[in-house]
């Protein structure tokens, strides 16, 4: 009887220890190099029943050697009966801030994953080389709702505001310019504000721009058109085979929009520029509405359209 009681007591003690184990928040990925989860944000989109997780993790190098970030291999995974399974997401993005971490310094890795909100699962960062898993809920997960996002027909407006963040779009001074066959749209500002005393991951907005116009090289006298000033080309007639040239949607390259995190109480303005080589809008159109900026956020299910004067 004593043996049975002793065995039962040992079993209960072991069960208690397992139940009290804390979730892992960091992994030593190399001697003296720690991979640590810093912040996690959950964005709930009730309209399409999805959830996005944004994460920020630090890499602290306390060794005497340079740590190359190419050595850090991790996946966004969840526990399964067979270990840890990589998730098939709706959307996913991962990036690093710097390529190398010198001794005594640190850097960050940033990312997000979007999944259907159909089941409860523990998502986190899995380092296969160490067979170690950092669940997102090992830190306090902050939650924001798509219902608090604002659409506006104004050129300057607050997209989102809560106890953590404020995001503001300012398109009041957006301008169009043309030089050497290249169209440039400049002056879009997106301001990000951290209202807290903690470092926060940012669900940054993704602006895009499309020009409904022409490829300069496809027009007659293309070399002459490329050498023109904006004033000159805005007066030109665009024809092909004696008829008005047909416009097409031309995507621009976007620069300066990614903001991954903010330090405590930090405020930062992203200055955004769009460029399209070999492209011009249709200056002869009666309505000058051929340049369209779209502010996007897949997580929020947000899309805001802004027309640019030219």
9 φ, ψ (degrees, to nearest 5): -65, -45
Do the domains spanning 24-144 and 149-307 agree at the CATH topology level? yes
The predicted-structure confidence for 92-118, as pLDDT tens digits, reads as follows 999 999 999 999 999 999 999 999 987
Pick the CATH number of 24-144 from 3.30.160, 2.30.30, 3.30.310, 2.60.40: 2.60.40
- Residue 276 three-state SS: strand
pLDDT digits (tens, 9 = 90+) for 66-87: 999 999 999 999 999 889 999 9
CB 165 within 8 A of CB 193: yes
Tokens 């993704």, located at residue: 206
**What distance in Å separates the CA atoms of residue 32 and residue 59, rounded to the nearest whole number?**
10
Residues in the chain with pLDDT < 50? 1-21
Asked whether 78 and 84 are in contact (CB, 8 A), the reply is yes
Q: Return all residues near 224 (Cβ < 8 A) that are at least 6 apart.
A: none
Tell me how far the alpha carbon of residue 95 is from its chain's centroid. Answer: 10
Enclosing H/E stretch for 18: helix 2-20
Q: Which residue has the tokens 């190398």?
A: 100
Could you tell me the residue ranges of all domains in the chain? 24-144, 149-307
- The sign of the dihedral angle between the CA atoms of 289, 291, 296, 298 is positive
pLDDT at 22 (0 to 100): 65
Do the Cβ atoms of 182 and 278 come closer than 8 Å?
A: yes
Instruction: Give the CA distances from residue 74 to residues 163, 201, 206, in Å, rounded to whole numbers and listed in that order.
Output: 31, 19, 25
Claim: this prediction has a pTM higher than 0.85: yes
Kind of pairing between the strands at 91-96 and 106-116: antiparallel
> 52 has which bridge partners?
43, 114
Give Cα 83 distance to the centre of its chain: 29
> How far is C-alpha 161 from the chain's CA centre?
18
Q: Does domain 149-307 have CATH number 2.60.40?
A: yes
- Phi, psi of 124, rounded to the nearest 5 degrees: -170, -165
Closest to 80 measured CA to CA, from 122, 132, 129:
122
Distance from C-alpha of 262 to C-alpha of 78, rounded to nearest angstrom = 27
Quote the percentage of the chain above a pLDDT of 90: 74
For residue 23, the model assigns a pLDDT of 82
């Amino acid at each position: 009887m004593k043996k049975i009681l002793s065995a039962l007591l040992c079993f209960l003690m072991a069960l208690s220890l397992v139940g009290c184990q804390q979730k892992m928040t960091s992994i030593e990925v190399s001697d003296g190099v720690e991979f640590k989860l810093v912040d996690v944000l959950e964005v709930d989109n009730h309209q399409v029943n999805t959830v996005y997780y944004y994460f920020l993790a630090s890499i602290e190098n306390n060794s005497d050697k340079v740590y190359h970030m190419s050595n850090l291999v991790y996946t966004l995974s969840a526990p399964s009966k067979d270990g840890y399974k990589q998730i098939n997401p709706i959307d996913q993005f991962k990036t690093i801030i710097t390529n190398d971490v010198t001794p005594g310094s640190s850097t960050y890795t940033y990312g997000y994953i979007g999944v259907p909100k159909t089941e409860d699962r523990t998502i986190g960062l899995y380092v296969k080389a160490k067979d170690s898993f950092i669940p997102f809920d090992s830190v306090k997960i902050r939650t924001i709702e798509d219902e608090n996002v604002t659409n506006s027909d104004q050129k300057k407006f607050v997209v989102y505001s809560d106890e953590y963040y404020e995001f503001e779009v300012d398109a009041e001074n957006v301008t169009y310019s043309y030089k050497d066959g290249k169209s440039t749209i400049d002056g879009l500002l997106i301001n990000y504000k951290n209202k807290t005393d903690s470092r926060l991951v940012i669900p940054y907005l993704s602006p895009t721009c499309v020009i409904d116009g022409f490829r300069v090289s496809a027009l007659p006298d293309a070399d002459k058109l490329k050498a023109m000033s904006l004033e000159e080309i805005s007066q030109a007639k665009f024809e092909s085979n004696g008829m008005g040239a047909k416009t097409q949607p031309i995507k621009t390259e976007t620069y300066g929009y990614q903001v991954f995190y903010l330090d405590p109480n930090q405020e930062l303005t992203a200055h955004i520029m769009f460029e399209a080589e070999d492209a011009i809008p249709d200056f002869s159109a009666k309505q000058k509405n051929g340049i369209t900026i779209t502010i996007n956020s897949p997580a929020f299910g947000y899309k805001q359209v802004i027309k640019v004067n030219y």
